[in-house]
Amino acid sequence: MAIIRPFECVRPNTEVAARFAALPYDVYNREEATKEVEREPMSFLKIDRAETQFSEDVDTYADEVYLKARELFLKAIEDGTLITDSDKSYYIYELTMDNRTQTGIVATASIDDYENNVIKKHENTRADKEADRIRHVDSLSAQTGPIFLAYRANELINAEVKKAKENAPLYSFVSNDGIRHRVFKINNPESVMCIKNAFEKIDSIYIADGHHRAASAVKVGLKRRSEVKNYTGEEEFNYFLSVLFPDEELMIMDYNRVIKDLNGLSSIQFIKALEDKGFDVLEAKEAVKPSKKASFGMYLEGKWYELRAREEILSTDPVDGLDVAILQNNCLTPLLGISDPKTDKRIDFVGGIRGLKELEERCNKDCVLAFSMYPTSIQELFAVADANRLMPPKSTWFEPKLRSGLFIHRI
């Protein structure tokens, strides 16, 4: 039973929404974030990454950075850049990329559901990455970057979403990266109750993207829960900002691998070793974008190959059966000596949004080998989470990215 609640949303006024909405804070390094804020001074990124307001000699995680974030947030409310809806509502967030549309419900999810594993995870979090967002949420007393959640599609919820989209949108704009964003509001009491009740009948919700933001929001909520007198459970810090998408509308893109060296092997030796490890290696006339599971593209010494995993190295295990695990367990670890792809400096990861040309360019620049992957499916993600297991690093790449600053939940 998932508790998914409507909330009083803080959001940009219609005139500035397109300029205010920003890509997630962790898409940028500090230099890139600073340049983006210089390009668009109204961007929410200046609040999300307030170090952009300081010279480089000020540490990214200095106290004054979080104080500045709070100051800028409150100023945006004061000057009318941000407005507050006084009614508890759900919102519909529709994103369209390359003529493919996905539509989610903006709401708040329960930190108890997170703790009790009704909201399921597939990735570990790192304390150092959590620390920054914990301080950001705590300083603003607000959650500003929604967690990307997924659920198995539900007919009642689909019908309410369809009905809401018959109304005029609150926002409709195309961002610089060509993504169309439309937002609708659901505050009709019958529709609100229908959505709330429908989610209460759903047993499992899944974090698709945003594990660190979720963990941070939960830790702030638990901290405040321990501090408050006359605790009721209804306080807003018991819930965290989310956008929930039905599985049928989601697309996971490939997350490709580039390697710095062949671990002392020649190209001929490496190809022979792949064959010995359970792969058929076929020369290709053009760049290989895998079209089915257990197949891989490989770029080596200016040539493309197709790798096909033979039956002997396939698995029905929810983790070991993933394509990223097949490659890791039968090539990267035994042949290339890359046993921990999270920490090994000899491997890097390239999101599928960058295309196969990026793999070739990396091999001409600082790598010698690239693998193009078949994307992990949303059903595979669900299966791993249902088994209380973890995905290998860099298994999924979600596009389009949800914008921060369009929806803010004050706690």
- Residue 104: what are its φ and ψ, rounded to 5°? -120, 165
Q: How do residues 281-335 score in pLDDT, each as one tens digit? A: 999 999 999 999 999 999 999 999 999 999 999 999 999 999 999 999 999 999 9
pLDDT at 27 over 90: no
Question: Is the model's pLDDT at 228 over the cut of 90?
Answer: no
pLDDT tens-digit series, residues 358-368? 999 999 999 99
Residue 382 included in any domain: no
Residues 238 and 282 in one domain: no
Query: Residues 160, 36: one domain?
Result: yes
Q: Predicted confidence band at 146 (pLDDT cuts at 50, 70, 90)?
A: very high
- Same domain (yes/no): 197, 280: no
Instruction: Please give the angle made by the CA atoms of 167, 168 and 169, to the nearest 5 degrees.
Output: 110
72 lies in some domain = yes
CA dist., res. 38 & res. 137, Å (int): 24
Q: Please compute the mean of the pLDDT values over residues 251-260 and round it to a whole number.
A: 94
User: What amino acid is encoded at 166 in this protein?
Assistant: E
Do 96 and 245 lie in a common domain?
A: yes
pTM for the model: 0.90
Q: What is the mean pLDDT of the chain?
A: 95
CA-closest candidate to residue 171, choices 246, 95, 242? 95
- Is residue 393 domain-resident? no
| Planar angle of CA 135, 83, 400, nearest 5 degrees | 65
- In this structure, are 26 and 40 located in the same domain? yes
Give Cα separations from 353 to 21, 110, 255, 393 (angstroms): 21, 32, 9, 18
Which residue range forms the structural domain that includes residue 362? 255-374
In which band, very low, low, confident or very high, does the pLDDT at 101 lie, cut at 50, 70 and 90?
very high
Dihedral over Cα of 258, 379, 247, 392: its sign: negative
